[in-house]
Structure 1
Amino acid sequence: MTSPILTVENLSVAFNVGDDRWREIVNGISFNLHEKETVAIVGESGSGKSVSALAAMRLLPEDSAKVSGSVRLADRELLTLDNEPMRRIRGNEIAMIFQEPMTSLNPVFTIGFQLVEAIRLHRTISRSDARAEARRLLEKVRISDADKRLNDYPHEFSGGMRQRVMIAMAIAGSPKVLIADEPTTALDVTIQAEILDLVRTLQDEEGLAVLFITHDMGVVAQIADRTLVMYQGNIVEQGSTDQIFRRAEHPYTRALLSAVPRLGESAGHDRPMRFPEVDVSTGKTDEPKEGSDTVDHNRTVLEVFDLTTRYPITSGIFNRVSSNVHAVEKVSFDLKAGETLALVGESGCGKSTTGRSILRLTRPTSGSIIVNGNDVATLGSRGLREARRDMQMIFQDPFASLNPRRSLGDAIKEPLYAHGLKKGSSDRVADLLVRVGLTPDMAKRYPHELSGGQRQRVCIARALALEPKLIVADEPVAALDASIKAKVVNLMLDLQESLQLAYLFISHDMGVVERISHRVAVMYLGEIVEIGPRRAVFANPQHPYTKRLLSAVPEADPSARGKQRNLSPNKELKSPFRAVDYQPPLRAYRTVSEGHRVQEWGSEWID
């Protein structure tokens, strides 16, 4: 075998915790990376995997982090290199993709400006040529209408699209080594599958070596040649990916693998299925259990009819409307007490806009949203305030949802105070914290003092404060580790059973959707193309797009890596931009079985 392109030996990282005390986070890890090879580092949050990558890139603050050991790129030692030559190496020879693209993109500059600057930083090239290259890179990472989107700002992109921009920026300098820190966590399964295919293509074409940091074992099975398992700052197991998946020896590795949701595990069950709880110290799991029959078919909590939400796009010196983004187009469904309807689809399909429109966080263009007999779409400010007592939202990023300067107790009290319910609020906070599996004393803590899973539990407690009947959960477990994800999903099922909650569960994680939902609605370009009982949709998908979503789910099995995936029809996601006078076509639906309906499709879906 050729010499490794990246060699890490005895790498240790310690952080200053005050009073000249240092806490070691990474404890002398060693590994290497060869040309065209993908090495995955897996482990839960806090295991030290991201810190190891940042240390290798020399991106940790020198005054508060102490790094020792050796990191060599070919024959150059990076840890002792001067700052200027190290700066030239970053982006040119080693590039990094971070997990949260919104913190990596500057909100005041357009996507095109930032891409052009990244390209010109590493190449001697004119601005016009750099812009042409930026357009090519956007097309390569599958962003439609690249010419138009270069003029957009980061907030105008969905989370998945922003991550694709970051991947385009990372490959702009044609690096030898790509460090990808949870790059597909926020992406839906079809985009994730295509990004993984893109990484493999880049490896073949340019000899790219990839260090892939993730907690998604399904992704590891599909892309990694070798796998390193980290736990509490140590590499506890390493070997070929096939060996790790088939003959894992360490209890923690076995625990990680057992927490991975696999499609088909809920086959034969009509009700949601609880995740098995995992003991990471022993690797033991309990038996998965079917949830209780919580659906009250006689009590409808939410009725949505012909919901349409469009965003006007203005241009010119007079800011005239030149086009519209058709985010949601004539969406209709209902939701019963104690029922979970999962809304699934790719980034930009309109599923989050649907949730925000229902809560009137975004004003819908037309349609009706009936909650407890009131049409939320037409309510005034006072009526809307009262209606929101019955409907709450859980957002994807719990850290961004909590004010870092306010204690957790104050965060949970906030909706109570907003509705004049101050009396007994402290007791209510203590009760809510216990209900979501935390302790009352945590009310005095601040968001940064909790793990990601604990912060999401606090957000769930806050959503429950006003005893709502409907909760819109927008990707509530997308950024969580597998074992933490399982616990949060089980918590939501327990709360649904005890409180008869109705969930609109927005997600791109089909493994989680199969476990938590009673019914599934599949969205494409703002429209529901298929809807029905979860068992029917997963066992007998009808629409080509539904089949494509299911086939794109990464299997936690390295032997399935070469499996042909149904990604060919409509590879390019169509643009939601439409002319001002555009009239959407009337859609026809046919009934497949009881409650299972599918939109008729045209020749564009024929491969």
Structure 2
Amino acid sequence: MADTIQPVLSIENLTTSFKTAEGWRAVIRNINLQVSAGETVAIVGESGSGKSVTALSTMRLLPPGKARCEGKIQLLGKDLLAVSEAEMRSVRGGSIGMIFQEPMTSLNPVFTIGNQIAEALVLHQKLSWKAAEAEALRLMERVRIPAAKSRLNEYPHKFSGGMRQRVMIAIALACRPKLLIADEPTTALDVTIQAEILHLIRELQREENMAVLFITHDMGVVAEVADRTVVMFRGDMIETGVTTDIFAAPKEIYTKSLLASIPRLGTMGETESPRRFPEVDAKTGEVTEGREMKPVAQSIAPILKVDNLAVRFDLPNGRVHAVEDVSFDLRPGETLSLVGESGCGKSTTGRTIMRLIEATAGSVAIDGKDVTKAGTKELRAMRRMAQIIFQDPFASLNPRMTVGAAIIEPMLSHRLMDRREAKERVAELLDQVGLSAAVASRYPHEFSGGQRQRISIARALALNPRFIIADEAVSALDVSVKAQVSNLLLDLQEKHGLAYLFISHDMAVVERMSHRVAVMYLGEIVEIGPRAAIFDTPQHPYTRRLISAVPIPDPTRRGLQPPSQREEIRSAIRPHDYVPPKRSYQEISPGHFVQDTAASWTE
């Protein structure tokens, strides 16, 4: 970019402080960056490093009186720290669009999706409500929300995590802003939709010459989209430069550890079992390849057995076939990963196993006992044996309870120990997930998204369960913490024989964590088998599409991704009288089954 061109965003010596009992405490210090029209600058770093605080400072969304910003934040030459709050309201959503990290807490639960998208257009573009709703429908279709017209008047709680994130992107892009701040915009999205959204943002960026400030922990996404990269660590900018230079020759040890922690497809070789993530020496930056975990004996009886599971939800104009005829089993010490697009039924399957959603048909047996027919007493005993780590850590933690109280509650409720022992156990669990025992007295809103996810994992481990459903358990974590927590889950599995149903859209993590993989599409399993078989010789066209859409963490290979998928995702809504066909499967190799593609892919 030429030096004479005025940058869209210019941040100079930004220091943001929060008020504490001891006085003002700086959480980001002397941040300097610029984003020009048509340019994408990525901010990367651990959760809690100050990435999101930098974005919230730019939008002036931090609580007045409790936070203060010093320095300059200029949008096209206008200092945003000097303008009135009324002027900032016209900037937010108009000149600056922002995609927030947690879509469920960013969307208003009492307004329809269509209303929330249209509101931005009415306020900033001065459209009539009728015109705004028509544009809202077009935006929903553009971010590939299936059956958009019928879902325009639905509420956020009826959308999956990935679908809600797409709605947030539609709202942020509605007014074609000069600057888009994207705070983890693809965290909740599977790889195919992630590729589509990145393509969409780049397309709009070219059309509008839009500047993009991209906050992410996914170094594959950084390699794919960023012209320049800023690395943050504990509130400081420690390295910045052209993205290709940062990847090729990082100068700081922390940057080297970030890049070494990236899970890469195709690095497992002939390994049959999961492998720990590479470990990085904090002083030297030396990388040690993680060891292979022990294999699972197939002679062991399954702890979980799911047979012909179906979950359907009735709507006025049809029925959602969320899960249809799903069968699999899971042994102690084994990890079975469920992968597929958001809305394909992964999370619904996990919640139904825990009886948080009632099954329409089929059976779920945990340790030989059918959960679907269990009474209150049996269900309580089962939930001590089986735990779930939810997708949205903020929504799953009580905002009025300290995190220590949230972790201690299940131990006291199940009468496993007295309060003194439980407090000691809380400190041990927090330490296991990389947090200090001192944070137990803090509330969920005082943590970053990644830190909240670690707290959720600590709570799931509190009862020493035998089986854990990990619903996007590491999706909110930056790459270095993702590696640490994934290694923690693998170590706990090896030590205690834990079984994991690992629900994820991160194919590179799935390849490293799994013994077996099941691929879901429109509520059905289309392919299931050993990890090596699924990744090395995928048979179903949808499986091949998922794997090919994984971003490559190498900026020199930018643009080598397959062309963006343009067809609309088919809807799982069927007429009330629809009778699902019985699917047939072929066994390609021992334990590797693929659904008849002629039926499932073209129907």
Output the TM-score relative to the length of structure 2. 0.94
Match of 1:394 in 2: 389
Deviation at 1:551, TM superposition (A): 0.9
* Cα deviation digits, residues 276-333 of structure 1 (max 9, x gap): 223455433333111122445322111111000001113xxxxxxx311110000001
Match of 2:576 in 1: 580
Look up the SS of the partner of 1:536 in the other structure: helix
Please say which of residues 594-603 and 346-355 is displaced more in the overlay. 594-603
Q: 1:225 aligns with which of 227, 234, 247?
A: 227
Look up the SS of the partner of 1:179 in the other structure: strand
**Residues 205-216 of structure 1: matches in 2 within 5 Å?**
205-216=207-218
Aligned pair 1:6/2:9, yes or no? yes
Deviation at 1:59, TM superposition (A): 2.1
The separation in 2 between residues aligned to 1:295 and 1:410, in whole angstroms, is 38
Distance 1:127-1:81 versus aligned 2 partners, 3 A rule: same
Look up the SS of the partner of 2:74 in the other structure: strand
Aligned pair 1:368/2:363, yes or no? yes
Give the letter for the 2:595 counterpart.
Q
Match of 1:557 in 2: 554
Distance 1:111-1:598 versus aligned 2 partners, 3 A rule: same
Which runs of 5 or more residues in structure 1 are unaligned?
Answer: 315-321
The separation in 1 between residues aligned to 2:114 and 2:281, in whole angstroms, is 47
The separation in 1 between residues aligned to 2:514 and 2:213, in whole angstroms, is 35
Aligned pair 1:343/2:346, yes or no? no
* Cα deviation digits, residues 404-440 of structure 1 (max 9, x gap): 4445554344334434x25556436635753674499
Look up the SS of the partner of 2:287 in the other structure: coil
* Cα deviation digits, residues 137-173 of structure 1 (max 9, x gap): 1011111111111110001111111111111111111
Distance 1:324-1:14 versus aligned 2 partners, 3 A rule: same
Root-mean-square deviation (CA, aligned residues, Å) is 2.2
Q: 1:58 aligns with which of 57, 60, 81?
A: 60
State the identity as a percent: 56
Q: Determine if contact 1:396/1:475 at 8 Å carries over to the other structure.
A: yes
Give the letter for the 1:140 counterpart.
R
Q: Determine if contact 1:548/1:566 at 8 Å carries over to the other structure.
A: no
Match of 2:543 in 1: 546
Aligned pair 1:434/2:437, yes or no? no
* Cα deviation digits, residues 526-551 of structure 1 (max 9, x gap): 00000000011011111111111111
Aligned pair 1:474/2:471, yes or no? yes
* Cα deviation digits, residues 32-66 of structure 1 (max 9, x gap): 11111111111112222222222222222331222
Deviation at 1:237, TM superposition (A): 1.3
Which runs of 5 or more residues in structure 2 are unaligned?
Answer: none
Q: Determine if contact 2:332/2:466 at 8 Å carries over to the other structure.
A: yes
The separation in 2 between residues aligned to 1:69 and 1:453, in whole angstroms, is 28
Q: 2:519 aligns with which of 519, 522, 525?
A: 522
Deviation at 1:251, TM superposition (A): 1.2
Distance 1:450-1:162 versus aligned 2 partners, 3 A rule: closer
* Cα deviation digits, residues 320-361 of structure 1 (max 9, x gap): xx3111100000011111111000111100000001111111
The separation in 1 between residues aligned to 2:270 and 2:194, in whole angstroms, is 28
Q: Determine if contact 2:311/2:324 at 8 Å carries over to the other structure.
A: yes
The separation in 1 between residues aligned to 2:515 and 2:269, in whole angstroms, is 13
Distance 1:566-1:122 versus aligned 2 partners, 3 A rule: closer
Give the letter for the 2:573 counterpart.
F
Distance 1:104-1:250 versus aligned 2 partners, 3 A rule: same
Match of 2:152 in 1: 150
Give the letter for the 1:89 counterpart.
V
Q: Determine if contact 1:408/1:442 at 8 Å carries over to the other structure.
A: no
The separation in 1 between residues aligned to 2:216 and 2:164, in whole angstroms, is 18
Match of 1:380 in 2: 375
Please say which of residues 23-32 and 536-545 is displaced more in the overlay. 23-32
The separation in 2 between residues aligned to 1:383 and 1:404, in whole angstroms, is 29
Aligned pair 1:489/2:483, yes or no? no
The separation in 2 between residues aligned to 1:402 and 1:126, in whole angstroms, is 39
Look up the SS of the partner of 1:492 in the other structure: helix
The separation in 2 between residues aligned to 1:377 and 1:387, in whole angstroms, is 11
Q: 1:163 aligns with which of 137, 149, 165?
A: 165
Look up the SS of the partner of 2:288 in the other structure: coil
Deviation at 1:218, TM superposition (A): 0.8
Match of 1:190 in 2: 192
Work out the number of aligned pairs and report it. Answer: 596
Look up the SS of the partner of 1:173 in the other structure: coil
Deviation at 1:472, TM superposition (A): 1.1
Q: Determine if contact 1:5/1:74 at 8 Å carries over to the other structure.
A: yes
Match of 1:265 in 2: 267
Give the letter for the 2:428 counterpart.
V
Please say which of residues 275-284 and 535-544 is displaced more in the overlay. 275-284
Distance 1:148-1:542 versus aligned 2 partners, 3 A rule: same
Deviation at 1:386, TM superposition (A): 2.7
Give the letter for the 2:163 counterpart.
M
Please say which of residues 468-477 and 393-402 is displaced more in the overlay. 393-402
Give the letter for the 1:379 counterpart.
A
Give the letter for the 1:402 counterpart.
L
The separation in 2 between residues aligned to 1:414 and 1:548, in whole angstroms, is 43
Output the TM-score relative to the length of structure 1. 0.93
Match of 1:318 in 2: none
Look up the SS of the partner of 2:299 in the other structure: strand
Give the letter for the 1:391 counterpart.
A
Give the letter for the 1:396 counterpart.
Q
Match of 2:134 in 1: 132
Look up the SS of the partner of 1:92 in the other structure: coil
Look up the SS of the partner of 1:514 in the other structure: helix
The separation in 2 between residues aligned to 1:283 and 1:81, in whole angstroms, is 44
Match of 2:595 in 1: 599
The separation in 2 between residues aligned to 1:115 and 1:422, in whole angstroms, is 48
Give the letter for the 2:48 counterpart.
G
Give the letter for the 1:430 counterpart.
E
Distance 1:396-1:28 versus aligned 2 partners, 3 A rule: same
Look up the SS of the partner of 1:178 in the other structure: strand
Distance 1:106-1:459 versus aligned 2 partners, 3 A rule: closer
